[in-house]
A and B are shown apart, each in its own frame.
Chain A
Amino acid sequence: MREASLKSYLPFAKGTFQSLLSYRLNFFLYVIGELTTVFATYYIWLAVYKNSGSQTLHGFSLQDMFTYIFMCQVALNFVSNDASYEVANEVREGSIAMNLIRPIRYRMVILFRILGEVIYNVCFVGTPILLIVCGVRYFSHGIAPDLLGIAGFFLSAVMGFLIYFYFNFIFGLSAFYISNVWGMNMLKGAIINFLSGSMIPIQFFPGWAQDILAFMPFNSLIYTPVMIFLGKYQGMEAVKALLIQVFWVLLLGISGVLLWQKAIKKLTIQGG
């Protein structure tokens, strides 16, 4: 099979991007709906800091916390995708076999389709929130934007995207072996939402939970990029966190490829 160039995958990204454009109004309403949770959390933290009697909790000031919960939304825009759902659907309907007769890699097709969605989210939701966060920090609290931190955030968020993409790809392929991916998907979403630190910073978790999470990929999805943005990870610490992300990209990426090859074998022998 001749290797297709990157250019032949671009239409897939463009396709998702454009179809999302035509749902704009609905899309923004859903975004507003999702943000209600964030605003409720905002007020809870406001009350918590007022009641706690101290300026910082687990090293987070109130300003840090506000930045944290909103930047989690930005990072979520990079990370969230429904690759697992798409792959699982194709497995269940058997249409995945069609991809074997095309001169392109299935993994890349899915990656680019998702990329269209992610770029859309980042452009129209993530970046505006990021700008608002930076603006509020600068004008109300005199905190100048940390360009290195922003750059580190983007780099780390892209890693987070890759980790979750491969995670989802593997999850979707598991539809070859288990038939209830729909229910599992919901379960997965709930677990990741919590363990990635997007509800509450990992620092607030009990010590034992933090120790366990250190060996899992969830930190790398949301928590790492936001901590880099906040400047809580600096210098060697930031490099270490990025290297851990690279490790997870490689581990999950390689597992995904191996699993895909196994799935193809199953597909060609059993006919799906």
Chain B
Amino acid sequence: MKRFIRLYTKLSAQYLKTLLEYRTDFIIGLIAFFFIQGFGIAFLFMVFQNIPNLNGWSFYEVLFIYGFANLPRALDHLVTDNLWILAGRIIVRGEFDKYLLRPMNPLFYLFADRFQPDAFGELIVGILLVVTALTKLSLHIGLIEIVGFIIAVLAGAVIYTSIKLIFASLAFWMKRSQSILFVAYQMANFTKYPMTIYNKVINIFLTFIIPFAFTAFIPASWLLGRESFAYGVLATCGVAAVFFAGGYALWNAGLKSYESAGN
């Protein structure tokens, strides 16, 4: 474990040095990100000008869910962004060879080889929204809530990673799977709002098939006092474990089928 952390730090530090050569782009990208998030919130705000609540959810409750949704997404985004590139070009161009030639777990190397600082924008906005909403909502926040919150965010990030891993691994057979990965990833768009506004089909789909519901709405509902601890946190961890195991198995099967690139 210590070796993993040291290697991760070392590799990320190298990637950061690469990024710093393009730092202005990075900063403008970050600003753009704040704008995107700001507009999303402005949208919610304008919507709430017309209604007292959204199916029983107050503005700050919705804001809390919206902010919470950012956190697991950001953590995953920070670490596993290379999965997008895997699905887009790494496999089809045979660039995956290098991940198999080092004495490291290839998935670990893939993650360590790149990180996405844009995610800091998501993280900052998410924390700001969650804190703002919490101060307005006057909820009971004790030790259990704080620990449960952190665990749920981490488990949510693992769910994100697992779903991405499943769809990115398809590239081992399909050569490219970025478009399918994109469709799957976009499903997360539904879960940053209170999911009681959707019909049953969408709810079942996002709970059991592509379980993004556990990355935001379900754990956030627990903190808002509308779901049990068992469902909000424990079930989230369970889903994370099951999907990560599935994703990792598919990834390993993919490694066996990897065909490198013909010359």
Q: Which residues of A are in contact with B by a Cβ distance under 8 Å?
A: 25-26, 29-30, 32-34, 36-37, 39-40, 43-44, 46-48, 50-52, 57-58, 179-180, 182-184, 186-187, 189-191, 193-194, 199-200, 204-206
The answer to whether A194 touches B55, judged by C-beta atoms less than 8 angstroms apart, is no
Q: Assess whether B180 is interfacial by the CB under 8 Å rule.
A: yes
> Binding site of B, secondary structure by majority: helix, strand, loop or mixed?
helix
Residues in chain B near residue A204, CB distance under 8 A: 46-47, 49-50
The answer to whether A30 touches B25, judged by C-beta atoms less than 8 angstroms apart, is no
Residues in chain B near residue A25, CB distance under 8 A: 179
CB < 8 Å: which of A46, A48, A190 contacts B36? Answer: A190
Shortest beta-carbon distance from B60 to chain A in Å:
16
The answer to whether B39 touches A199, judged by C-beta atoms less than 8 angstroms apart, is yes
Residues in chain A near residue B51, CB distance under 8 A: 48, 51-52
Residues in chain A near residue B202, CB distance under 8 A: 43
Distance in angstroms between the alpha carbons of A206 and B43 in the assembled complex: 12
> Contacts A186-B29, A187-B35, A205-B46 hold; do A51 and B183 have CB atoms under 8 A apart?
no
The answer to whether B28 touches A180, judged by C-beta atoms less than 8 angstroms apart, is yes
Annotate B180-193 by CB proximity to A: 1 below 8 A, 0 otherwise: 10110111011001
> Binding site of A, secondary structure by majority: helix, strand, loop or mixed?
helix
Residues in chain B near residue A199, CB distance under 8 A: 39, 43
Shortest beta-carbon distance from B84 to chain A in Å:
13
The answer to whether A183 touches B25, judged by C-beta atoms less than 8 angstroms apart, is yes
Residues in chain A near residue B35, CB distance under 8 A: 187, 190-191, 194
Residues in chain B near residue A51, CB distance under 8 A: 51-55
Residue tally, chain B, CB below 8 Å to A: 39
Shortest beta-carbon distance from A52 to chain B in Å:
5
The answer to whether A33 touches B182, judged by C-beta atoms less than 8 angstroms apart, is yes
Q: Assess whether B261 is interfacial by the CB under 8 Å rule.
A: no
Shortest beta-carbon distance from B235 to chain A in Å:
23
The answer to whether A183 touches B28, judged by C-beta atoms less than 8 angstroms apart, is yes
> Contacts A179-B24, A199-B43 hold; do A46 and B32 have CB atoms under 8 A apart?
no
Shortest beta-carbon distance from B195 to chain A in Å:
9
**Nearest 8 A-B pairs (CB), nearest first?**
A183-B28, A29-B179, A187-B32, A186-B32, A194-B39, A33-B186, A47-B197, A26-B179
The answer to whether B197 touches A29, judged by C-beta atoms less than 8 angstroms apart, is no
23 contacts between A and B (CB under 8 A): A26-B178, A29-B180, A30-B182, A36-B183, A37-B189, A39-B190, A44-B47, A51-B55, A58-B50, A180-B24, A183-B26, A183-B28, A183-B29, A183-B31, A186-B28, A186-B33, A190-B35, A190-B36, A191-B35, A194-B42, A194-B43, A199-B43, A200-B46
Q: Assess whether B27 is interfacial by the CB under 8 Å rule.
A: yes
Residues in chain A near residue B26, CB distance under 8 A: 183
Residues in chain A near residue B179, CB distance under 8 A: 25-26, 29-30, 33
Distance in angstroms between the alpha carbons of A183 and B178 in the assembled complex: 22
Residues in chain B near residue A47, CB distance under 8 A: 54-55, 197
Distance in angstroms between the alpha carbons of A183 and B182 in the assembled complex: 21
Shortest beta-carbon distance from B202 to chain A in Å:
8
Shortest beta-carbon distance from A19 to chain B in Å:
16
> Contacts A40-B190, A43-B197, A187-B32 hold; do A200 and B54 have CB atoms under 8 A apart?
no
**Best-surrounded residue of A25, A180, A189, A199 (most CB of chain B within 10 A):** A180
**Best-surrounded residue of A33, A37, A182, A206 (most CB of chain B within 10 A):** A33
The answer to whether B186 touches A34, judged by C-beta atoms less than 8 angstroms apart, is yes
> Contacts A43-B197, A187-B35, A194-B42 hold; do A200 and B47 have CB atoms under 8 A apart?
yes
Annotate B35-69 by CB proximity to A: 1 below 8 A, 0 otherwise: 11001001100110111111100000000000000
